[in-house]
Amino acid sequence: MISKDLIVIAALSLLAPAMAQGSTVSKLYPSVRKFFPLANRFGSFQGKPSAAPVYKDARLLGYVFKTQDVAPFRGYSGEPINILMGINVNGGIVGTDVLSQHEPIFLIGIPVRKLYRFVHRYTGHQATDCINVGGGGGRGCTTVDAISSATVTSMVVNRTILQSAMDVAVSRKLVAPAGGASLAPAHIRARVFRTANWRALTGNGAIRHLFVTANDVKQAFKGMPQGEVERAHTDGAFIDLYYAYLNAPTIGRNLLGASQYRWLMGTLKPGEHAIALMANGIYSFKGMGYVRGGVFDRTHVMQNGQIILFHDLDYYRLGTLHAKGAPRFNEKAIFIIRKDYGFDPGKPWQLQLLVRRQIGALKSIYATFSGDYELPALYFSRPVTPKSVRLRKSTSAQEPIWVPVWRADRARIVILISALVLLTVILLWQDMLVRRPRLVRYVRTGYLIFTLGFMGWYALGQISVVNVFTFMHAVGGDFRWSTFLMDPMMFILWTFVAVSMLLWGRGVFCGWLCPFGALQKLVNELARGVRVRQFKLPAVVHERLWALKYVILLVLFGVSLQSVGAAERYAEVEPFKTAIIMHFQRQWPFVVYAGGLVALSLFNEKFYCKYICPLGAALAVPARLRLFSWLRRRKECGKPCQVCAHECEIQAIHETGEINVNECHYCLDCQVTYWNDHKCPPLVERRKRHHRVDRAQESVRRMEAVLSTSAGSGRKAAPGDIQDP
């Protein structure tokens, strides 16, 4: 017979793995014991979505889970905020704890403890609760105050916590699914189309209206310090906003026109939706979130208590409105609601408009104004079961996602490519151009103005060292061309920069295509025009400071090996985001830093580029593989001639005459001097020598002419007949 001891040992051996995993959960995350103070046993993370059961002896108390495993919604950083959560068997939230976050807002002075306190507010709520940040989310919802100056992050956290709790509670059958399990998303009737003008669409509720006056804003902030917008405008329309759901043909085709509607529907994947926003007034519904990689921080959609955020790739420009009688709008946009939100066009939703008031360097308050929307029943039907839903895929919907992006951006693409073709012509025929110094100056100044204005401030085409790290990690990992093709401006620029580095070196980008470099150069030109004194560092100091940018590059590269997100935060050593991408509209420390570097260029040309820029250092490394040497030099350069070395504002020409191509910005100034026979000493000497020979030859010709004349007249030549020319 088998002894009891053997049975106990066998049972323990079978339970050992589970016990080890359970102990690992509580050891890795000690706070789970605070979530469940009565618990004496923790299971392992398992199931879908992943969650670990918690027990008191044999009684189930609830579940522990990480939101990153359940509902990994992206924040401002582009990465999810990971929160450890616990829910009991009734679906109540019993504990929350932030495990990791990468939000940049907490790196510029806002204490991260505010995020921890905000997350803890959800303890005691139910997974089925409707909780809104800042209010305005619908009837029967609880309102919580957002983290000051971190509104979008607060909304992401709100959605992350509630969606994660709901998903785990429903999957473990702790609560019933919201709205009933048999209710499938509404299906838009693609064949229902009627011609309708603006009045008809606004009359039947297809287009809704949100009108906010300046007085409404003042009342919302009553008792608070006045903000800049409210001080400047005390009455009248703050924003006159219209919004509409576009997938329904009667709405979308009448507003956009047939061709633009077909294009838009072709870009949408099954389960994605488009809305249009059109507004007049002093307030922009876009805000600053439309910068590359950002979130639109003023405009959101709410449905069933969850917030729908719009990122930069969810935005398209809205062209001409085709509906008859449509007003003229100063601002128009199309926003895409992605599939992962589970948006149901047949259910009511709200458009939220956030108005922020800055009341300190790092503190702000805000008010929320909401408008309801309910799609007219004529435009959709609702299947009885999810199985009856059949979404048709158009041919254009099978296009790679980057194709419609390029199609929509074709005007800027044509302008950029034309400018790069012009630059290529300039570089290929530089020997002809540099013989005309005044033309060189006009061409270069004009091109730098274009680089700063169009490429930089308008198209936001500022390359960063972070792009270098992203490309390197993509090559070493899961490389996909589609990832880089999503941004046509950056892709075209990078392609040209790669080719130009092989042909001319890194100086083409630094001297012609960098918007921040163009800003410094233009500021320095203005300073020289008003005779601001220029200062150059001694050669021994200058050459040692060159190494600083390479040290910065190595540090950032080391950080990027651990986390590209962390490298991006430390890459704020680049002022590009502040000065170019965000047009100096940031917190004052960033503005002071970027403005200080621009101010330095008044006295020392491109100080930042020469000594600090990690991007320039990163481009200099592969640029050593350049195939040609286009910059001409003479044997006299440096021995003894030092004209070019003294005139080079980048100080990229050694005293021995060689050009340091790693540091050269390809301004062509030395090439202008190379062909100038009034500045280049060898040419000056050659010109003078030719002049002396010409004078001697002229004297001989005059003598021969006088002698010939004297012989013909029979008179002897007098000494005064021959004069030195």
pLDDT bracket for residue 638 (50, 70, 90): confident
Whether the pLDDT of residue 268 is over 50: the answer is yes
Q: Where are the domains of the chain?
A: 21-171, 187-382, 404-628, 682-714
Whether the pLDDT of residue 232 is over 50: the answer is no
Here the tokens at position 129 are 């609760």
Query: How much is the CA Rg of the chain, to the nearest whole Å?
Result: 35
For residue 80, is the peptide bond before it cis, meaning its omega torsion is within 30 degrees of 0? no
Here the tokens at position 358 are 């800055």
DSSP for 410-424 reads HHHHHHHHHHHHHHH
Here the tokens at position 178 are 């919201």
Quick one: pLDDT at residue 622? Answer: 85
Across 133-146, average pLDDT? 63
Asked which of 145-154, 413-422, 540-549 is least confident by mean pLDDT, the reply is 145-154
Element (H, E) at 317: strand 315-317
Give the pLDDT confidence of 323-382 residue by residue, as tens digits: 999 999 999 999 999 988 889 998 889 998 888 776 655 556 677 888 899 998 888 887
H helix runs in 365-464, sequence order: 402-408, 410-428, 430-433, 437-450
> How many C-beta atoms lie closer than 10 Å to residue 161's C-beta?
24
Here the tokens at position 183 are 């209710």
CB 433 within 8 A of CB 440: yes
**Nearest Cα to 99, choosing from 80, 120, 83?**
83
Here the tokens at position 710 are 């004297």
Asked which of 32-41, 423-432, 469-478, 560-569 is least confident by mean pLDDT, the reply is 469-478
Which is higher by pLDDT, 92 or 403? 92
Quick one: pLDDT at residue 428? Answer: 92
Q: Are strands 299-303 and 52-56 parallel, antiparallel or unpaired?
A: unpaired
Give the pLDDT confidence of 672-712 residue by residue, as tens digits: 888 888 888 888 888 888 777 777 777 778 787 777 776 66
For residue 649, CA distances in Å to 434, 576, 607, 646, 654 come to 18, 22, 10, 8, 12
Quick one: pLDDT at residue 391? Answer: 37
Here the tokens at position 33 are 């014991």
pLDDT bracket for residue 398 (50, 70, 90): very low
pLDDT bracket for residue 560 (50, 70, 90): confident
Give the pLDDT confidence of 3-56 residue by residue, as tens digits: 555 454 454 444 444 444 444 677 788 889 999 999 988 888 888 899 999 999
pLDDT bracket for residue 386 (50, 70, 90): very low
Write down the mean pLDDT value for the chain.
81
Which is higher by pLDDT, 640 or 111? 640
Which is higher by pLDDT, 43 or 474? 43
Asked which of 27-31, 60-64, 243-247, 514-518 is least confident by mean pLDDT, the reply is 27-31
**Nearest Cα to 592, choosing from 151, 106, 232, 108?**
108
Here the tokens at position 132 are 């809104």
Quick one: pLDDT at residue 340? Answer: 81
Torsion angle of C-alpha atoms 639, 645, 646, 651, degrees rounded to 10? -150
Interacting residues of 621 by C-beta distance below 8 A, sequence separation 6+: none
For residue 402, CA distances in Å to 258, 314, 317, 318 come to 22, 12, 16, 18
pLDDT bracket for residue 145 (50, 70, 90): confident
Q: Are strands 187-188 and 380-381 parallel, antiparallel or unpaired?
A: antiparallel
Residues of the chain with pLDDT > 70, as a percent, come to: 81
For residue 441, CA distances in Å to 266, 602, 683 come to 47, 19, 21
Give the pLDDT confidence of 593-618 residue by residue, as tens digits: 999 999 999 999 999 999 999 999 99
Q: Is 663 helix (H, G, I), strand (E, B) or coil?
A: coil
CA 168, 169, 173, 174 torsion: positive or negative? positive
Q: Which amino acid is at 195?
A: T
Count CA within 13 A, CB hemisphere, residue 569.
Answer: 17
Instruction: Determine the Cα–Cα distance for residues 580 and 512; give it in Å rounded to an integer.
Output: 15
Whether the pLDDT of residue 394 is over 50: the answer is no
End-to-end CA distance of the chain: 135
**pTM (predicted TM-score):** 0.51
Whether the pLDDT of residue 107 is over 60: the answer is no
Count CA within 13 A, CB hemisphere, residue 42.
Answer: 27
Q: Read off φ and ψ for residue 72, nearest 5 degrees.
A: -80, 75
Quick one: pLDDT at residue 396? Answer: 38
Here the tokens at position 207 are 């287009």
Give the pLDDT confidence of 289-321 residue by residue, as tens digits: 454 456 787 888 988 767 788 887 888 888 889
Quick one: pLDDT at residue 389? Answer: 36
Instruction: Determine the Cα–Cα distance for residues 591 and 434; give it in Å rounded to an integer.
Output: 38
Give the pLDDT confidence of 530-553 residue by residue, as tens digits: 999 988 888 888 888 988 999 999
Buried b (16+ CB within 10 A) or exposed e, 535-548: eeeeeeebeeebee
Instruction: Determine the Cα–Cα distance for residues 454 and 432; give it in Å rounded to an integer.
Output: 27
Interacting residues of 427 by C-beta distance below 8 A, sequence separation 6+: 500, 503, 504, 508, 630, 666
Q: Are strands 131-133 and 142-144 parallel, antiparallel or unpaired?
A: parallel
